[in-house]
Structure 1
Amino acid sequence: MNNEQSLLPPKISFFEKRLTIILARDDAMVCAFCPELDLVTEMATPDEALEDMLEAMQDYAEEYLEDLEIYQNSPNRAHHLPYIQAIAACNDAWDIGLLFEIQHGRVQV
């Protein structure tokens, strides 16, 4: 490797279809909400809520693709397809983590 190659900046990739995860504390529990996929989880800690959301996203993507005909023709689920395809293309949890942006909020009832 020559000096010019070693001075190149690292290549950083990002996904265009971003998912939002909003973490909100409600008394002793933490909710994780993904508005783009209409998914909600609730756990005791932020880390547990994020981990549960990640699992929910993977499960939903698998189910969506298994029943693609139903979901892609559903008026409230058809727009999820680009996100589902992005999740399905991920190799592992790290890759899925690159798809979302975490925000913090409050639960209001």
Structure 2
Amino acid sequence: MDGKEPDPRFTLANERTYLTWLSTSLALCAGGVAMAAVPPDLFVPWVRTALAVVLVLLSALAAAFAYPRWRKVQTALRRAEPLPPPRLAPLFGYGVAGVAVLALVLILVG
């Protein structure tokens, strides 16, 4: 990478954020697998499958975009440029919130 070596605290904070995206990915994947393992009589089967698929897809996206995000932030730090905006954060926030609301509705109705 070109540019000046940034303050180690910023580099380590960027690394912690990267690792947090990976742990979030793992948690989303575990949630998707757990949703797929829910007993068939608890939710309508296609809804249970849809919730599991959404969680696993969010997991894959978080894992796939964690490193490119780390790299862009690290490059911006080295060049003393503004940090890139977190473009996928709303997708993850709304995606997880949507799954949670749908699961809550299904629990209350069922």
Q: Which has the higher strand share?
A: 1
Q: In which range does the TM-score fall when normalised by the shorter chain?
A: 0.3 to 0.5
What's the TM-score once normalised by structure 2's chain length?
0.32
Query: Which is higher, the Rg of structure 1 or of structure 2?
Result: 2
Q: Which has the higher helix share?
A: 2
